[in-house]
Structure 1
Amino acid sequence: MEYAMTALQYLALLFVFVVGLGVMAVCAMFYLDTRQTGDAIRRNYPVIGRFRGLFTELGEFFRQYFFAMDREEMPFNRAQRNWVYRAAETKSNTVAFGSTRNLSLPGTPIFMNAVFPPLDDQFASTEPMIIGPHCREPYAATSIFNISGMSYGALSKPAIRALSRGAGLAGIWLNTGEGGLAPDHLEGNCDIVYQIGTAKFGVRDEAGNLSDEKLRHMAAKPNVKMFEIKLSQGAKPGKGGILPAAKIDEEVASIRGVPMGKDAISPNRHREVDDWDDLLDLIGHIREVTGKPVGIKTCIGSADPWFDFFKRIKERGAECAPDFIAVDGGEGGTGAAPMPLIDLVGMPLRDALIRMVDLRDLAGMHDRVRIIAAGKMVAPGDVAWAICMGADFVVSGRGFMFSLGCIQALKCNKNTCPTGITTHIPSLQKGLVVEEKDKRVAAYAKAVINEVETIAHSVGVAEPRQMRRRHVRVVVNDGSSVQMNDIHPSVHLGLDGLERARGHKQFEDAMRRLQIEGETL
């Protein structure tokens, strides 16, 4: 009994101490709040006013789990994320009781199922597509769906390792992003697209200029299949890349060729490229030095300047053209960018892709220049739509981040990613187990490709690249739908939209501006 009383007395003293400490903390906050001048709410409502900041900070997480409907969130809603999670875990993605998607919203694509679709034994496999036929080492790309550019530095070491291994398992390519080639990119023995950003990270000399010696060194690696010159990206067109100093350790600094302790900033464009001729010269130079396909990545602000681009290619000859063009929509993602650029600058992919495809086809380069689509492409419907519009390949960044376990915490720019994907803090990175996540990456890629094939078979073709604009409708303002090739007639020779395109104002205007005779199509 005496021991019990002593324990109770101890607990009572502890309670009094904790309460006293709490009262002192409240008094201290009251004193500080009433004397600070930066926050009017805290000055007028000391202590209680602090809850406003707390709730604002936590609000996005409460909305995600408790209040937002499945298709309400931005930039990706719960339905999209959950589809990726289930696909990555090889779980069934069948649903019950009908679609939860609002099919009357303008812009919604609706695929047109065939009356007599091909039977199971009438399917065809997607053949490898040759990129860079004029190169010493053309690339036979086997997959329609691949991993978009995400830099080592922006992403953690275990994230890059898992992506590389997963890409190798799935047989898809991995784009390095503008941060250079790390040993981790090569771990999975996957095909690599080396991205050359405006700062030339990884292939620059001490002055920051392009180094032919380092280009040859990268091209000598058998896994490096192509080089991509990054002109701009959808999330921040007109502004270069930003890697915060907190994410730059010794290895990242060595790979990129930058000092530690300072943000790694890329210029907003390549300093040596002032016009289309300069760009074509750069493409040709890199292709000659490396012997491998060279393309460009860009976000389109207007189609007008690109008329001159293709016109200049026709004047110089098809050999000078880029081997591919990656079109990034203004809705593209990034780890760090100013909000006005993310929200307001750059043409959305649904506009940009069609314009670039039509310009390429009008210039008679359908089989010369491959088109890659990027920008919030995470689900099979997105990929199928892009292929219908004329894309040869689709790449995704954030879809593969979700496959790694991303929860859309929106902390990519703060080095505090709770899932270990975009942080260099070891204690957070340990949550990302490479030996498990690589399988999720591969499973997600295979699930997307499989579902795109399902859509292709449903519309009546044997494999995805046979899909055309005539196979998809789009919802317009009154809630009805219109066939895409009635809105945007295809101008590629052999497609059924060609005759309708003749006389179509968009087609005729483009023909005049490109100065192409009809028979060259």
Structure 2
Amino acid sequence: MNFLANFTMTGLEILTTIFIFVVGLTVLAVIVMFIADSSQSRDAIRHNYPVVGRFRELFTRLGEFFRQYFFALDREEMPFNRAERDWVYKSAKGKNNTHPFGSTRNLNLVGCPIFVNCAFPRLDEEATDPPPVEFGPHTPNPYRIESIINISAMSYGSLSKPAIRALSHGAARAGCYLNTGEGGLAPYHLEGGCDVVFQMGTAKYGCRNEDATLNEKNLAEIAARPEVKMIEVKLAQGAKPGKGGILPAAKVTREIAKIRGIPAGKASISPNRHPEIDNMGELLDFIERVRRVSKLPTGFKTVMGAYGWVDDLCDEIEKRGIESAPDFITLDGGDGGTGAAPMSLMDNVGLPLKQALPILTDILERRGLRDRIKIIASGKLVTPAEVAWAYCAGADVVNTARGFMFSIGCIQAMRCHTNNCPTGVTTHKKSLQGGLDPKVKGPRVANYVDKMRRDVAMIAHSCGAPHARALKRFHVRIQQDDGTSVPLDQLLARSRPLAPHEYAKENS
């Protein structure tokens, strides 16, 4: 008993000593922080309120997460609210997406699309699969795509290795294509055996000379891969129109640097535009050069701001002949973008897709080039209603990037550019990639595609259309500020862009 009593007392003494040590260490740390805060002048809050002022930055950071999980309503968050993300998560996991007790969406908001169901919708047995879209009929290797939804441009570098592998395997399983983004062609893009669209950014990663000009030999080698089906020349992207791609130094690993042809550990900043392209003639020259070397359908990606250039492009095509036209235009909305970008560009430059897509389709239709130049729509199209709207507005094919990021686990933590993505989607830290298993996430990519196809078809059938590509502008109405809605075809007829001769006449 005496032994136990002595042992207990000794244990209490040890605990007391540890407690006093921890308290002393805490007091010392507070004193050090107090002196450091009160003697510095970089942060006024910390200077005027030593130690306590440090909590402001902590709470600011934590506030984003608390709002997401505890305070924000299902339809409040930006850029994607919880209801939209949950639809993707459940679809990717193959779960039931039906909901009880009516919609939680405010259908009276200006701009809200309302699809016009018909009195006698299509029976399931009357529905048909969307017809394939053919790209590059004048090339040696035209490409036919059936999928109504495909993976938009996301580079290996912006996304992690397991993320790209999951997308590649999922795309192959779903029968859709994967756009490489501007970071070059990585072996992980090819791993799953899916169709690949190779994107050539302004820095020409993967097919560049040391001075960043086009290396035709490297391009030919990339195009010779059987998985590579088209070449997309990127002029601009949604998050930062007028500025090239940005990959922070922390994400430029040795492997990524080798694939891109740049130094490792140094920030990868692309030029604002292709130095070879400064007018419509040079654009068509460059597209023809790429098409000649690759022997593949070739188009370009851009963001609509000013749109007079579209008529200039059509004028140049008319001079040269129909074969000189780009095989497609990928139109990104100014509200798009998965990568890092300056807020001034992300928030305020470039038309949203809902304005830009009808403008582009109308001009090409008026100039008689709508059938020749296919339109790929991209920009915040992550749910069936948004995709169906894009087909109503005139898209031939729809791409999405962030929808597929959600399908493989993205939680919208807003840490993409820091290399600290908590789900492993946009980080190259091995410690954070463990939960992103391509064998698990690949099937979820395919599930998302399958659910998207089913639900867009369901909207089309409700409107009386046999498939998504048969949707027209009169199939959707747009909510107005007076509480009424207007069919999209009538709404756009009121505000369609004037042809040059109409503008000249009106302002004469």
Shorter chain as normaliser: what TM range? over 0.9
Which residue number corresponds to residue 355 of structure 1?
359
1:213 and 2:222 correspond: no
CA distance in 2 between counterparts of 1:32 and 1:289 reads 62
Which residue number corresponds to residue 232 of structure 1?
236
CA distance in 1 between counterparts of 2:212 and 2:82 reads 43
User: For residue 359 of structure 2, what is the amino acid of its counterpart?
Assistant: R
1:422 corresponds, among 395, 401, 426, to 426
Q: CA, structure 1 residues 409+252, in 2 after alignment: closer, same or farther (shift >3 Å)?
A: same
CA distance in 1 between counterparts of 2:153 and 2:68 reads 27
Q: Deviations over 1:145-175 (max 9, x none)?
A: 0000000011111100000000000000000
User: For residue 180 of structure 1, what is the amino acid of its counterpart?
Assistant: G
1:462 and 2:466 correspond: yes
Which residue number corresponds to residue 500 of structure 1?
none
The answer to whether the 8 A contact 1:314-1:363 is kept is: no
Q: CA, structure 1 residues 62+463, in 2 after alignment: closer, same or farther (shift >3 Å)?
A: same
2:499 corresponds, among 497, 500, 509, to 509
CA positional deviation for 1:24: 1.0
1:331 corresponds, among 329, 332, 335, to 335
Q: CA, structure 1 residues 192+514, in 2 after alignment: closer, same or farther (shift >3 Å)?
A: farther
1:168 and 2:158 correspond: no
Which residue number corresponds to residue 371 of structure 2?
367
CA positional deviation for 1:252: 0.6
Q: Deviations over 1:208-237 (max 9, x none)?
A: 111111111111101100000000001101
The answer to whether the 8 A contact 1:176-1:194 is kept is: yes
Q: What SS class does the counterpart of residue 311 from structure 2 fall into?
A: helix
CA positional deviation for 1:334: 2.9
Describe how 1:122-521 pairs up with structure 2 within 5 A: 122-489=126-493, 506=496, 509=499
CA positional deviation for 1:508: 6.3
The answer to whether the 8 A contact 2:338-2:401 is kept is: no
Q: What SS class does the counterpart of residue 413 from structure 1 fall into?
A: helix
CA distance in 2 between counterparts of 1:155 and 1:50 reads 33
The answer to whether the 8 A contact 1:104-1:479 is kept is: yes
CA distance in 1 between counterparts of 2:155 and 2:132 reads 26
CA distance in 2 between counterparts of 1:221 and 1:188 reads 13
1:89 and 2:93 correspond: yes
Q: Deviations over 1:388-433 (max 9, x none)?
A: 0000111000110001100111111111111111111111112211
In the superposition, the TM-score normalised over structure 2's length comes to 0.96
The answer to whether the 8 A contact 1:362-1:510 is kept is: no
CA distance in 2 between counterparts of 1:265 and 1:342 reads 17
The answer to whether the 8 A contact 1:311-1:514 is kept is: no
Q: Deviations over 1:58-92 (max 9, x none)?
A: 11011001100001111111111111000000001
Q: What fraction of aligned residue pairs are identical, expressed as a percent?
A: 56
CA distance in 1 between counterparts of 2:36 and 2:269 reads 38
CA positional deviation for 1:29: 1.1
CA distance in 2 between counterparts of 1:511 and 1:12 reads 90
- Of residues 379-388 and 38-47 in structure 1, the stretch that sits farther from structure 2 once superposed is 38-47
Give the aligned length: 501
Q: Deviations over 1:152-200 (max 9, x none)?
A: 0111111000000000000000000000000000011000000000001
- Of residues 44-53 and 80-89 in structure 1, the stretch that sits farther from structure 2 once superposed is 44-53
Q: Deviations over 1:479-506 (max 9, x none)?
A: 21111111124xxxxxxxxxxxxxx784
User: For residue 302 of structure 2, what is the amino acid of its counterpart?
Assistant: T
Which residue number corresponds to residue 35 of structure 2?
31
Consecutive unaligned residues of structure 2, counting only runs of 5 or more, are none
Consecutive unaligned residues of structure 1, counting only runs of 5 or more, are 490-503, 516-521
Q: What SS class does the counterpart of residue 313 from structure 1 fall into?
A: helix
CA distance in 1 between counterparts of 2:295 and 2:325 reads 15
CA RMSD of aligned residues (A): 1.5
